[in-house]
Amino acid sequence: MRDRKSDTAHRRAAEVKIGRKLKPGEVVDHLNEDKADQSNANLDVKSRSSHTIGHNKTRGVSKLRRALRAFKEGKKVY
């Protein structure tokens, strides 16, 4: 279960950065994927759909890289 206190710390930091409260449907993205890093440079406010699309693209690239590595090593790629 997630800790509510740390769960909202990045949201508060992002609100200070953008100078307003987050709107419903907005999420805070950790650009370097380190959830402990609350620095302004690491936080970006996005719509939920934009955030999901971004993560899906990243995951897709990771899957492609793993498959290519496996292919080069002569392993079977499904």
**Residues 3-45: pLDDT tens digits?**
555 568 889 999 999 999 999 999 998 888 788 888 989 898 9
Task: Locate 42 and state its tokens.
Answer: 């690491």
Distance of CA 66 to the CA centre of its chain: 20
Q: How far apart are CA 30 and CA 42, in angstroms?
A: 5
Q: Where are the domains of the chain?
A: 4-72
Give the predicted TM-score (pTM) of the model: 0.59
Choose the weakest-confidence range: 16-20, 48-52, 56-60: 56-60
